[in-house]
Amino acid sequence: MTTSLANLEASLLTAFEPLGRFSKLAVALSGGMDSVVLLNAIHTLVPTLSQASPLKLRAIHINHGLQAEADEWQLFCERLCAEYGIDLQVERVILKRKPGESLEAIAREARYHCFEHSLDEDECLIMAHHQDDQMETLLLRFMRGASAQGLSGIPQQRRLGKGVLHRPLLHLRRDDLAAFAKLRQLTWVEDSPNQDSCFERNFCRHELLPLIESRWPGYRSSWTKTLSLSNEANLLLRQSAQTDLALIGCTASPLELEQLLIWDQARQRNVLKHWLTEITGQVPGWHLLHGLTEQLLPARADAKASLKTRHYELRRFKNRLYVLPKAQQFDANTCLNWDISHGAELALPNNGVLEAKAALGKGLIVPDGSTLSVRYRRGGECIKLAKRPTKPLKKFLQELSVEPWIRERLPIVYCGDDLVAIAGLAVAEKYRAAQHQHGYVFTWHQASLDLVSSIEG
């Protein structure tokens, strides 16, 4: 028995070696066997590896409140951490499930959101995923038609918030952890829903994988090879996409389409997949990528083509592809009075901020005693620019190639009933400052286009 425990400890010590460079470790602690084994092993073994002194170890428990025993599990974790002399951070989450959404997926998303926002700078979050979890994940992803990236399985390490997520147990089987728990006489809580085969992962765990193992005892080795080959393929696809994006000369939004449209659809999808992943922080699915290459890209250059997702939308305009957060609703009939002498900034409800800066010899002259107002396009507006005939505002914006979704939200400045300025673009001739005059230059700071933040929020 001692030899068996010694062998398990030796295997764990080897797995924990990459953790030696961290001074701060946080264990994701559910209270189940896997995480209890991980916490016990980390607590007793990692201090011998750590290059940092002293090592700061803590645990994080997420209380979903889904089961009646949730508070009991939390209490168990609190007592365990008190026994080990380890700080425990408890996060309670309220799950908001929409029709058709998977409860498992919503709970997982909530967990990782908590973990991400709980990590300190360069802190390492350690999770107890093991080889059986990896096999279950691979089977589930295969059944859902995953790409090479999906079939690469659970990554051992990745960035997470300000820190790093690391999974040191992926080479160990669940039976190995059970043996360690028995030999060390550990106790844990049992999650009754984990036995319910109505859940897909539990069905794989209790029904499918035992059947596969009875027929192909060596399937783990073969599937691990598939994971490795898929990871290699995914790396090559990523490198290819980076090379193609460099050829296009663009990694941000908008994406120039001239070069992209020359390539075949498979190559287009690979570029678009990695481009969108970088911008949004989410890997686009099969339907979105095929919608892009089969509907949006082939559309006429002058068409107002778009595709919407849950979190953002894609629009094509003037041979460019834009990825935009879903716009907040705003009232196009808004009319905001603005006494510019009392404030150089005007908050536009759900549409950013309009800023006015004094400038010599340019910008807008505001007649004494006048109050400005800010409105939006309603149709039929005209503007007279210096040395140019009066022109419909619609035509003026089209000539400047202002994107359609920007035109409808573009702040327009009025003095009385006169259209006197278009934020960031033009000033009417009658109100334009001469060289010796001080005017106001308007800058529109649009609502945040931080796609990753808007998705997470």
What tokens does 178 get? 């059970």
Q: For residue 102, say whether it is annotated as part of any ligand binding site.
A: no
SS3 311: coil
Angstrom CA distances, 278 to 252, 296, 334, stand at: 8, 20, 36
**319 in Cβ contact with 262 (< 8 Å):** no
B/e letters for 223-261, b = 16+ CB within 10 Å, e = fewer, are: bbeebeebbeebeebbeebeebbeebebeebbbebeebe
Q: Is 176 annotated as a binding residue?
A: no
Sheet arrangement for strand 312-317: 255-256, 320-325, 312-317, 306-308
The answer to the question of whether 31 is labelled as a binding residue is: yes
Q: DSSP label at 119?
A: P
3-state secondary structure of 358: strand
d(CA 262, CA 89): 53
In degrees, rounded to 5, the angle at the alpha carbon of residue 361 between the alpha carbons of residues 355 and 362 is 40
Length of the chain: 457
DSSP state of 252: S
| Ligand-binding site membership of 33 (annotated) | yes
Distance CA 168, CA 134 (A): 12
* Residue 249 annotated in ligand binding: no
Three-state DSSP at 217 gives: coil
Whether residue 414 contacts residue 373, with contact meaning beta carbons closer than 8 Å, is answered with yes
153 is in an annotated binding site: no
Task: Give 373-412 as a DSSP string.
Answer: EEE---S--EE--TTS--EEHHHHHHHTT--HHHHTT--E
Give binding residues for ATP as ranges: 30-35
Q: Which residues are annotated as a binding site?
A: 30-35
